[in-house]
Structure 1
Amino acid sequence: MLVSINWLRDFVPYEGSVQELADKLTMLGLEVDEIFHPFELLEQLVVGHVLECEPHPDSDKLSVTRVDVGNDEILDIVCGAPNIAKGQNVAVAKIGSVLPGDFKIKKAKIRGVVSLGMICSERELELSDDHSGIMVLDESLEPGTNFVEALGLERTVLDIDLTPNRPDCLSILGVAREVAMAFNLPLTMPAIAPMEEGDEASSQVNIVIDDPEQCPLYQTRLVDGIKIGPSPAWLRYRLLAVGLRPISNVVDVTNYIMMELGQPLHAFDRDLLAGNTIRVAVADDGMQFTTLDGQERKLLDTDLLIWDSEKPVALAGVMGGANTEINEGSTQLLLESAVFRPASVRKTARRLALPSDASHRFERGVDQVGNTYAMNRAAQLIQELAGGKLLSGVAKAEPKPWIQPQVHFRPERASRIVGIPFEPSFCAKTFTALGCRLEEEDSSDWLVYPPAYRLDLEREVDLVEEVVRVYGIDRVPETLPVVSHEMGRKSGSKQFDFASLIKVWGRGVGLNECVNYSFVGDKELDFLGLPQEGRVHIANPLSEEQNVLRTDVGAGLIESLKFNLSRGNSELHLFEVAKTFHADPESDTKTREEERVCILLHGNRYGSGYPWPQEDCDFSDLKGLLLHLFRSLHLPEASFACVDGHSWLSPCISVSINGSGVGVAGMLRSDLAESIKTRSDVWYADLSLPQLQAIKDQCRIAFEELPKYPPVRRDVTFVAPLELAVGSVMESVLGQNQKLLEKVQLIDEFRPENGDAKNLTYRMTYRSPSKTLKDKEVDKTHTKIVQAVVKELAVSLQ
């Protein structure tokens, strides 16, 4: 919202500094983004008096002038305007001046005559589109007077950034109310006394509103015998200062009132309206309507229109129609002033990509009570600027009159919310300054009646906000809230707490956590060979790259891998805790969700550079992380087995605990890895969080006494076929159920070149809970186990 300081002073006699005003408004919640001079470039111009004007000796269309620009300075200027004449006061740009459009004035020789400046037209100064001749100024002005000062142009405009809940401040009047309240100044409203004559307007126009919810109020005034022409300079300059382009006297008045009072108005050429009925009703679905900008719009049956007796004539609250536009030949005027449902205007304006100053205000709500005042002020200005006869009375329909809300307010409650005591007298003074009416001021529970222009005051907390806003948010001391903390307190959600535990683990082992969008593209899922069945497509996707919910967390992690590889980052140790989504007709939401934890490894297993060796991650790194996770959750031993048929992992290993599958691990298929230009193997694991949590819930941590006696260790090497799994030997050893055997672990594997067997070396640990073992006791048990394994698995001893 652009606010002219001079215009503001028409309402409040503020005489302080502009910076003080800007600071105060900002602290009141009306943030001033910028203080600027809308006519800054014109400050370089001066008023000049034409002393002599003679025809150019070498041109029929040019004139040579001598211009007094003050301070005893006379300039010779060549001018091409047909209306230049001796004795005129004109706008002069001296050498070195820069005009709008970055046009710099330089000394020039025009057909042999030196020109030391430029006499300007209104278009060259961007004050209007008139380029028929130079701008002739008031003859009473002194030569050398600053041009901006001479014309009374606005020197200071505030650019205020408003929040959507303050539509009352989308006007000079609204900001003036805030200034009057903040500085304890009187607020003066412009006097209106339109001269009425002739027939009653209500007898000339019948207004019909189909749906009161869509349009609570619609009223019009009629003016006959108007003359369309340019607006006076003061009006044009004020509109330019706040960013609006002058058009004609009637249209400029409607824009002026919109900026001044916040009420959008619309002027129809009454001669172009069919019949004597104005109807507010929705459009026919699919109908075409041409707006003032000349564009044909396709409408829906939810778009609200203004109709005459035969046709639509305006998009309600958004833009008028080209078929009833005010033009140079218009003589009869119907002035519309209405209130429309904000949601209806907002939907229409956004769907048609047709924002306007009017829709911006209607979308946020306008003052239904002040509507009549705005219309009458506009009618009076039109009379003054365009002439004509204003018909008596108003043609009006108000099927849903405004009802003043009442809001309870407790001063003590306000003090508790903000944390500082407020005097009831201060609260009462604040509400009165805001235009509210009070009842029961002496009680602890007041009734506050907000004015019609404060649509945001609906609840007690809104009134509390007003009190602290006026008191000064900067005056409220900073205090830390009281936070009660219980040791070991959790969120209350077992699933959330378990997922948080997994995230803490992942960061603790040095993995980097990823948070990817739940939305992916079909092409990402197709790349991984995931089935089409079960995908949940988005009805209104942000883009084709995000048109479906992921069915595998890997889709996002692979994209993270590609993104990093393309930027030269190849050492990736990633994990993500996220949900997958699958279509499920039996679910209430038609979608089944499952939370997963996934790990992706690529590149060097250690940090880069000295002293770390350059070794790429392999399956042992991935398996080690999984085993570490299971141990940190106190889960039973996991088992791993090769499986076939995974769509994008090869080899693929199933991961099971207590015979229940909890996920898979493996390597990204080589063809897929090659297509995304990986620099080493990509290892990936995908585990189900609900299954891990269910297993954890069934486990009980058992405490054992620390061993008192020393262990005895024996190593044995088996020669086994290449296809024999390492775990099969360990299962066979443990399956002998020897009480002295404490644990068995693989410590070495050797595969001879061109051989058909491998050497597996295991270390077996023996211990007795009651005594120190002797060698012969250990040898006896060890021999029994080794012989049993050789017999069961067809392996041999080295």
Structure 2
Amino acid sequence: MLLSMQWLRDFVPYEGETQELGDRLTMLGLELEEIYNPFEAVAPIVVGHVVECERHPEAEKLSVCKVDVGDSELLEIVCGAPNVAQGINVPVAKVGTTMPGGLKIKKAKLRGIKSFGMICSESELELSDEHDGIMILPENLKPGQNFVEAMNLETTILDLGVTPNRADCLSMLGIAREAALAFNLPLTMPALNLVESGGNAADMLKINIDDPEFCPLYQARILEGATVKPAPNWMRHRLLSVGIRPISNIVDVTNYILFELGQPLHAFDRDLLKGDSIRVGHASEGLKFSTLDDQERILKDSDLLIWDAERPVALAGVMGGMNSEINKESKNVVLESAVFRPGTIRKTARRLSLPSEASYRFERGVDQNMNTFAMNRAAQLMSELSGAKVISGVAKSEPTPWQTRTHEYRHARCNSWLGLNLEPEFSKNAFTLMGLEVNDADADNWKVTTPSFRLDLEREADLYEEVARYFGMDKIPSILPRTDKTFDSKILSDTPYGFYRRLKNWGSGTGLHEAINYSFVGDDDLDLLGLPQEGRVKIANPLSEDQNVMRTAIAPGMLNTVRHNLAQGNTHIRIFEIAKQFEIDESSDTNTTEQTRIGMMLTGSRNSSEWPHEHGDADYLDVKGLVENLLCDLKLDISEVSLVEDHSYLEPCIKIVCGDDEVGIMGMVKPEIADKYHAKKEVWMADLNADLLRDKVMSHKIKFAPLPVFPPSRRDITVMASVSLRAETIKQAILGLRLPLLESVELVNLFVPEDQEDERNLSFRLTYRHGKKTLKDKEVDKEHNKVLAALEKALPIRL
């Protein structure tokens, strides 16, 4: 929304700094985007007085003028305009001036006579399309006076960003209300002095509305005897300052009211309307209609039209029609003022790619109670500027009158939501200044009536926001939230949400980055991973063919995340995702079963490139370590890992079993699949059933044991064994002895001799501890020897 400071001061007596106004409006929700001078291009132009004007001796269409521009000497300027004459005031561009179109004025010689400047037309100053003659200025201006100052042109425009819910701020009046609120200024409405004469518009024009749902109000005034001509300079220049091209006095008034009061209006040539009736109704499918931009539009039956007795004459709320437009010969005018359903106007304007200032406001909602005032003010201005008579009365149909809206307001609750301690009088004063009516008979529960121009105030929470805006969003103190736990936190931890939050905290704590992907993927993604067609949940109205099914595995989304990161130059990728996968299940009420999974995916270097980290690439040990770390954090033990043959997208693929249940898989994404996602290095992945993990965690029985207070004693043993003998088998053989002093067994090293490819050396560290005393070496050696003897007897190894 472009705000003219001159125009604003018609409503509020603001005399402060422009930047301060912009800052305050920003804090009220109207973000200041730019401050600029709309007529900066004509700033060098000065007022000139033509002292002498004679015909050029060698050119009949040229005149040689001597022009007083306030300097000590008169400027000699050769001018080709037919209306140049002695004694008039004109805009002059002196030598060195750059014109709005980019032309730089230089000394010139025209047919042998030197010219030192240019007398300008409105077209050359880009004030209108008028180019038949020069612009003649008022007689009371002084030579040499700056043109912008002399013509009182606007020098300051604020470009404000208005959010879609604040339709009331799409006018000078609406922003004036906000300025009055910000600086506690009085608001003055434009004076209305409408003079009516003869007849009755209600008898001369009948209004019919087919469906009140789409048009709650339509009314019109009739003007007779208008003279269509250019609007006065003050109106034309104000419209130019906000980016509107002046057309004629009648049309310019409708645009002026649109920006001043926010009510779109439309003027019809009454002599071009058929019959004495106007109907608001829908188009027929395929109907062709030519709008004011001289384009033929093909309409749908959902488009709303304004009809005369025989044909459509306007596209409701969007644009008028060629067949009833105001032209230079128009004498009689029908002035339309209406309210239309926002959604209907928005759909029509979007589908036809026909945005307009009118549709922009109708799409967001207009003030139904302001409608009549806006129409009457427009009729008054048209009468004053064109000499037309305003016929008495109004042709009107209002099948759905405006219903006053009242909301409850609880001040204590408002303070609680905002984190403030405001007095009730503060809120009451804020509402009053905003034009809201307050009934505080019940001190704990007020009744607040909202005005018709505040369509965004729909519930009690909106009133809290208004209090916050008036207080100042920037003044609300920042307070850290309390971190102490409550009984509710324990209850929350037992919920699925609490468990998934725990998994997320684990993932972030291990240095993984959380990925969040869409729940829908493409059939091509699932086919690439070799996932079965059976069980896929099709999307009825997919956004695109790339997202036409619900994911049956989380791998496609994570691989797409890898591809996106690689495309952005990130080659050190360590991500996790907690998400649902979906499959068809006829036994379910929704015909779909959902299962929550936690996935981890690694590729690229093991560590970031900064020194002194090791620069090797991520491998199986990394993903295995993450899985073990997670299960350890959840207090779960891996009972078995085994190789899975012929997995569709992982090779190798390892099955992970906890207790009697398979909880997931881990392995390397097949290189041919990884290559499709632009991964040039190995991609390692783990995919675990988060729902099953939660069930196991929730079934835990908590046991307490005293912390050890005596030091441990450690012994290392190295076992020479066949490569086919798993390290886990040796570990379990040692733990299976159930020695009372043996606390833990860990694999610490692995070595494969170069000359023995079928044998390897495995080093284990055994920790011994007594709960009630410090162990002596003799006691540890006795237990350790039992381990050595048992291993040699139970397994095919050498020590």
* Range class of TM-score, shorter chain: 0.7 to 0.9
Offset of residue 568 of structure 1:
5.0
* Matched residue type, 1:77: I
Aligned to 1:402: 402
Alignment of 1:652-731 (within 5 A): 652-674=653-675, 678-702=679-703, 715-719=718-722, 727=728
Cα distance in 2 for residues equivalent to 1:347 and 1:761 = 73
Offset of residue 255 of structure 1:
0.9
Aligned to 2:383: 383
Cα distance in 2 for residues equivalent to 1:58 and 1:679 = 81
Aligned to 2:792: 786
User: Using a 3 Å threshold, how does the CA distance of structure 1 residues 592 and 84 change in structure 2: closer, same or farther?
Assistant: farther
* C-alpha contact (below 8 Å) 1:180/1:187 kept by paired residues: no
Deviates more, 1:321-330 or 1:456-465: 456-465
* C-alpha contact (below 8 Å) 1:601/1:684 kept by paired residues: yes
Confirm or deny that 1:236 pairs with 2:236: yes
Aligned to 2:495: 494
Deviates more, 1:669-678 or 1:352-361: 669-678
Aligned to 2:217: 217
Q: Give the SS at the match of 1:605.
A: coil
Alignment of 1:159-558 (within 5 A): 159-179=159-179, 182-185=183-186, 187-198=188-199, 200-408=200-408, 419-422=420-423, 424=425, 431-437=431-437, 447-459=447-459, 462-463=462-463, 465-466=465-466, 469-470=469-470, 472-473=471-472, 478=477, 480=479, 483=482, 485-486=484-485, 489-490=489-490, 491-492=492-493, 494-536=495-537, 548-558=549-559
User: Using a 3 Å threshold, how does the CA distance of structure 1 residues 135 and 585 change in structure 2: closer, same or farther?
Assistant: farther
Aligned residues: 788
* C-alpha contact (below 8 Å) 2:177/2:187 kept by paired residues: no
Offset of residue 47 of structure 1:
1.2
* C-alpha contact (below 8 Å) 1:436/1:448 kept by paired residues: yes
* Matched residue type, 2:392: S
Deviates more, 1:318-327 or 1:543-552: 543-552
Deviates more, 1:143-152 or 1:547-556: 547-556
Offset of residue 140 of structure 1:
3.5
Cα distance in 1 for residues equivalent to 2:382 and 2:193 = 12
Deviations 1:336-395 (A, max 9, x none): 111122233233333433322112222232222221222122222223333444333211
Alignment of 1:110-149 (within 5 A): 110-149=110-149
* Matched residue type, 1:719: S
User: Using a 3 Å threshold, how does the CA distance of structure 1 residues 118 and 409 change in structure 2: closer, same or farther?
Assistant: same
Cα distance in 1 for residues equivalent to 2:437 and 2:659 = 73
Alignment of 1:577-616 (within 5 A): 577-584=578-585, 587=588, 591-606=592-607, 608=609, 612-616=613-617
* C-alpha contact (below 8 Å) 1:428/1:441 kept by paired residues: no
* Matched residue type, 2:95: I
* Matched residue type, 2:85: A
* C-alpha contact (below 8 Å) 1:712/1:773 kept by paired residues: no
* Matched residue type, 1:473: G
Aligned to 2:651: 650
Deviations 1:621-657 (A, max 9, x none): 3222222222222112342111122222111111111
* C-alpha contact (below 8 Å) 2:94/2:117 kept by paired residues: yes
User: Using a 3 Å threshold, how does the CA distance of structure 1 residues 563 and 21 change in structure 2: closer, same or farther?
Assistant: closer
Aligned to 1:793: none
Cα distance in 2 for residues equivalent to 1:774 and 1:10 = 97
* Matched residue type, 1:241: S
Cα distance in 2 for residues equivalent to 1:621 and 1:22 = 55
Cα distance in 1 for residues equivalent to 2:540 and 2:452 = 40
Aligned to 1:634: 635
Q: Give the SS at the match of 1:50.
A: strand
Deviates more, 1:408-417 or 1:85-94: 408-417
User: Using a 3 Å threshold, how does the CA distance of structure 1 residues 42 and 588 change in structure 2: closer, same or farther?
Assistant: farther
Alignment of 1:22-61 (within 5 A): 22=22, 25-26=25-26, 28-56=28-56, 59-61=59-61
User: Using a 3 Å threshold, how does the CA distance of structure 1 residues 694 and 271 change in structure 2: closer, same or farther?
Assistant: same
Q: Give the SS at the match of 2:218.
A: strand
* C-alpha contact (below 8 Å) 1:767/1:773 kept by paired residues: no
Offset of residue 432 of structure 1:
4.9
* C-alpha contact (below 8 Å) 1:91/1:147 kept by paired residues: yes
User: Using a 3 Å threshold, how does the CA distance of structure 1 residues 568 and 128 change in structure 2: closer, same or farther?
Assistant: closer
* C-alpha contact (below 8 Å) 2:718/2:761 kept by paired residues: no
* Matched residue type, 2:596: E
Cα distance in 2 for residues equivalent to 1:423 and 1:622 = 60
* C-alpha contact (below 8 Å) 1:746/1:761 kept by paired residues: yes
* Matched residue type, 1:290: S
Offset of residue 694 of structure 1:
1.7
Deviations 1:309-339 (A, max 9, x none): 3333323222223333223343332221111
User: Using a 3 Å threshold, how does the CA distance of structure 1 residues 634 and 71 change in structure 2: closer, same or farther?
Assistant: same
Q: Give the SS at the match of 2:124.
A: coil
Q: Give the SS at the match of 1:103.
A: coil
* C-alpha contact (below 8 Å) 1:733/1:789 kept by paired residues: no
Cα distance in 1 for residues equivalent to 2:69 and 2:98 = 17
Cα distance in 2 for residues equivalent to 1:622 and 1:277 = 78
Offset of residue 737 of structure 1:
8.1
Deviations 1:231-260 (A, max 9, x none): 222221121122211112221111111122
* C-alpha contact (below 8 Å) 1:265/1:375 kept by paired residues: yes
* C-alpha contact (below 8 Å) 2:221/2:335 kept by paired residues: yes
Deviations 1:464-509 (A, max 9, x none): 5555655x42796637477472278354563232223223333333
Offset of residue 218 of structure 1:
0.9
TM-score, scaled to structure 1: 0.87
Cα distance in 2 for residues equivalent to 1:147 and 1:566 = 56
Q: Give the SS at the match of 2:405.
A: coil
Q: Give the SS at the match of 2:203.
A: helix
* Matched residue type, 2:685: Y
* Matched residue type, 1:64: V
Cα distance in 1 for residues equivalent to 2:578 and 2:52 = 86
Cα distance in 1 for residues equivalent to 2:743 and 2:613 = 35
Q: Give the SS at the match of 1:629.
A: helix
* Matched residue type, 1:104: K
User: Using a 3 Å threshold, how does the CA distance of structure 1 residues 566 and 336 change in structure 2: closer, same or farther?
Assistant: closer
Percentage of matched positions with identical amino acids:
49
* Matched residue type, 2:174: G
Q: Which runs of 5+ in 1 are unaligned?
A: 791-795
* Matched residue type, 2:720: T
User: Using a 3 Å threshold, how does the CA distance of structure 1 residues 368 and 525 change in structure 2: closer, same or farther?
Assistant: same
Aligned to 2:574: 573
Deviates more, 1:512-521 or 1:127-136: 512-521
* Matched residue type, 1:67: V
* C-alpha contact (below 8 Å) 2:95/2:107 kept by paired residues: yes
TM-score, scaled to structure 2: 0.87
Across the aligned residues of Structure 1 and Structure 2, the Cα RMSD in angstroms comes to 3.8
Offset of residue 120 of structure 1:
0.9
* Matched residue type, 1:496: Y
Offset of residue 127 of structure 1:
0.7
Cα distance in 1 for residues equivalent to 2:561 and 2:427 = 56
Q: Give the SS at the match of 1:98.
A: coil
Offset of residue 751 of structure 1:
5.7
Offset of residue 431 of structure 1:
4.9
User: Using a 3 Å threshold, how does the CA distance of structure 1 residues 415 and 677 change in structure 2: closer, same or farther?
Assistant: closer
